[in-house]
Amino acid sequence: MIIGFSHISQTCRYIDSEANLLVSQGFEQKFIIRNLANHPSKQSIVRGESFPKTHSIGLFHHQDSVVTELIEYENISERDCPRYKIDGKSIVLKANQIDAEVTFWKNALKCKEVAHHHLQFASFVKSWNGDFIFEQTDQPLEKPMLNDVGLNCFAFYVKGLDTFLTEIQTYNAVLKVAPFELRVNDRNLRVAMLRSPDGNIIELIEVKND
């Protein structure tokens, strides 16, 4: 089951300069890890023929904004990802299939609709709350890839990853990355990735007990 919204991922060309920019905007840098191995199962959601073997990641918190993970890949896509923007503590998502997408976020990701096309996830941990505003667009949206520059992936904490993966796929989510294990910032994690009905990348993170 979903227990919290973790962060939104932002791919950048230079993690150090982007980190400095976030810090100048009041974000707190939690960590930066360089040259972390990139699991090969992510190939299907990375653009280009050359799969990046490593990537660098950093996590940044701000009390009045959205927790942001910066990622720098070895091979950055030449394409930007303009589907999303951060507005204070909210994330605004453009959608082609807005009704199907909102239904998915309500039923599969357990978000509550607090206004028309405005959803929130309320967690028992305040910093794991999420606020999402969906906007219909008739302009065709290309599916984001992990190495497209910009915001491109939504990460949620889950408990019981394997059971939840079976459940979430009944809501028209497509599994793109089967569960794999990694260690980040002294925590052992299991991670899987899916695409939602409108093509958004959803990352599911289970924290393993040591």
Report percent pLDDT > 70 for the chain.
Answer: 100
- What's the pLDDT band for 135 if we cut at 50, 70, 90? very high
Give the predicted TM-score (pTM) of the model.
0.96
State pLDDT tens for residues 33-90: 999 999 999 999 999 888 888 999 999 999 999 999 999 998 888 888 889 999 999 9
Backbone angles phi, psi at 99, to 5 degrees: -65, -45
Total residue count of the chain as it appears in this document = 210
Token pair of 108 as six digits: 């599969």
The CA distances from residue 87 to 133, 136, 173, in Å, are 10, 17, 26
d(CA 102, CA 55): 32
d(CA 192, CA 208): 14
Sheet strand arrangement including 130-136: 84-87, 90-95, 130-136, 118-121, 112-115
Q: Given this model, what pLDDT does residue 44 score?
A: 93
**Residue 209 pLDDT > 90:** no
Q: Given this model, what pLDDT does residue 210 score?
A: 63
Average pLDDT of the chain is 95
CATH classification at residue 182: 3.10.180.10
What are the helix and strand counts (H, E) for the chain?
A: 3, 13
Number of folded domains that form the chain: 1
User: Which stretches of 51-117 are DSSP H helices?
Assistant: 98-107
CA 191 from centre of chain = 12
Q: Given this model, what pLDDT does residue 80 score?
A: 85
Token pair of 172 as six digits: 């028209």
Residue whose C-alpha is closest to residue 153's, from 145, 161, 142: 145
Domain range spanning residue 126? Answer: 2-207
The label of the residue with tokens 């997408």 reads 101
Q: Given this model, what pLDDT does residue 74 score?
A: 86
